[in-house]
Amino acid sequence: MNTSNNPTLGDSAYADNPTNSAANNNNNNDSYNANNNSQNAATNEPGMNANSSNGYGKGGYGASTGNTPSGKGPYAENDPNYNNQNNLNSNDRDPNSTGDARNGGNWDSRHSSSSGDLSVMSKEKGVNDNEFGTAPPVNEGGKNYTVCVLCGLIAFGGFVFGWDTGTISGFVNMPNFQSRFGKIHHDTGVPFIPTVRTGLIVAVFNIGCAIGGVTIGRTSDFVGRKKCLTLSMLVYIVGIVVQISSGKHKWYQYMIGRIISGLGVGSVSVVCPMFISETAPTKMRGALVSMYQLMITLGIFLGYCTTYGTYHHYSDTKQWRIPLGLCFLWALFLMGALTVLPESPRYLLQKGRVEEASSSFSKTNQVSTDSPLTRHQIGMMQASIEEERIASASAGVWDMFKMKNMMLYRLVLVCGFG
């Protein structure tokens, strides 16, 4: 329709210049503008200003219902509370985006599918959501190499586990170890370790790991990750002392020592991956947690190499006592590394120590305590902890064996692949 014949528009740009109105409709190739003007004329409402086209202003639609706070029609531009600077220019709009908010309310670039960079959008909007710790920070990140080094030090606990696995298989085949803790074969006169005794010496370590994982490892929720790892290494050292001091034919002492050292290694197997996951950035968390498994493999390999060397170069107790004595070095190294590591920020938040958590996060990621990255991550962790508290309030041990929320399925999956 010809908008110049529209008496409702009065002396607007379209009423004064019908040519402009017609040209506008032709350029847009869309009948929506004419239909919208007709609808606005019927309701005695101004449809759009001279700067808008095809029903789109800089802000697109205000609301599909046509009820804006100002009561001036469906366009966000007609709302006096609307800030045009909060919108992207129509030339910068993603062509795949409709530009409207059909669920109601003013168009907001935070909810659009614009292809513009987040930093550009935040700058043009003039909004700093980081004040509330809910929006991801823009163009800010810590120094990842620092986090990698710290997580590598924590993952060294896996090396302790792997070292024992790699050395014990060599011990039970060493002549001196067999003569010290085994029996003499009646026919050949060659010392050997009975199969049952070998199984006990090897297997009790894993039994100790299982017990330590559910006992000592649990203390990390009460005393912290660092103190729990330190306690675990002290228990591990006690077990090594008991083993290395075992007298001739006192294989049961050696077995008891392996149970005690297993308690320490089992708790390390629980706390180290958890500590890494709570320290590592989200984008690197999977890779850094896998460093623990890498350290286990490295420990197994170097354990094999060490026992191979001592087997061929010594014939006395040095065959097995040298590899066993190196366990002191690994334990002391991990305990020394813990002195320079900051405590887990998640644990500190669980204890309500927010300032210490911010300080720990800032040290790990090499950012300031009041940076947007720190505020955002601390806020996210606080929200996650609160969700866990609400969920665990009504949960019990038997819920693991129920099909609700597929908990039984997850338990079977973990046991099958763990």
Question: Could you give the CA distance from residue 273 to residue 281 in angstroms, rounded to a whole number?
Answer: 14
- 147: closest CA among 336, 362, 332? 362
Q: Note the pLDDT of residue 373.
A: 86
pTM of the full structure: 0.64
Total count of residues recorded for the chain = 418
Alpha helices in 339-406 (DSSP H): 345-350, 354-365, 372-393
* Helix H or strand E encompassing 214: helix 195-214
* Helix H or strand E encompassing 183: strand 183-184
The residues, ordered by sequence, that sit 6+ positions from 304 with a Cβ below 8 Å of its Cβ are 166, 169, 170
Range(s) within the chain of domains with CATH label 1.20.1250.20? 144-341
Long-range contacts of 346-355 (CB under 8 A, 24+ apart): 346/278, 346/381, 346/385, 347/220, 347/221, 347/224, 347/225, 347/278, 349/378, 349/381, 349/382, 349/385, 350/221, 350/385, 354/378, 354/382
Long-range contacts of 125-130 (CB under 8 A, 24+ apart): 125/85, 125/86, 126/85, 126/86, 127/86, 130/372, 130/375, 130/376
In this structure, are strands 183-184 and 191-192 parallel, antiparallel, or unpaired? antiparallel
**Whole-Å CA distances, 367 to 137, 142, 180, 264, 371:** 12, 6, 56, 34, 7
**Domain boundaries 144-341, CATH class:** mainly alpha
Report phi then psi at 93, rounded to 5. Answer: -75, 145
User: Please, what's the largest Cα pairwise distance for the chain?
Assistant: 121
**Whole-Å CA distances, 191 to 18, 170, 201, 313, 320:** 111, 16, 17, 20, 16
Find the angle CA(241)-CA(215)-CA(331) to the nearest 5 degrees: 35
Q: Note the pLDDT of residue 400.
A: 66
Q: Note the pLDDT of residue 302.
A: 96
204: its two tokens = 């009790």
Q: Note the pLDDT of residue 218.
A: 85
| Residues 82 and 91 sit within 8 Å (Cβ to Cβ) | no
| Residues 242 and 113 sit within 8 Å (Cβ to Cβ) | no
Query: Which pLDDT tens digits describe the chain residue by residue (418 residues)?
Result: 444 444 444 443 444 444 444 444 444 444 444 444 444 444 444 444 444 334 444 334 333 344 444 444 444 444 444 444 444 444 444 444 444 433 444 434 343 333 343 333 333 333 344 444 444 444 444 467 888 899 999 999 999 999 999 999 999 999 999 999 998 888 888 888 999 999 999 999 999 999 999 888 888 989 999 999 999 999 999 999 999 999 888 999 999 999 999 999 999 999 999 999 998 888 888 899 999 999 999 999 999 999 999 999 999 999 999 999 999 999 999 999 999 999 999 999 999 999 999 999 988 888 888 888 889 989 999 998 888 888 777 766 666 666 666 777 777 776 766 5
Question: Could you give the CA distance from residue 19 to residue 124 in angstroms, rounded to a whole number?
Answer: 35
Q: Note the pLDDT of residue 307.
A: 95
The residues, ordered by sequence, that sit 6+ positions from 41 with a Cβ below 8 Å of its Cβ are 6, 7, 8, 9, 47
Question: Could you give the CA distance from residue 130 to residue 52 in angstroms, rounded to a whole number?
Answer: 33
Q: Note the pLDDT of residue 127.
A: 37
Distance spanning both ends of the chain, measured CA to CA = 72
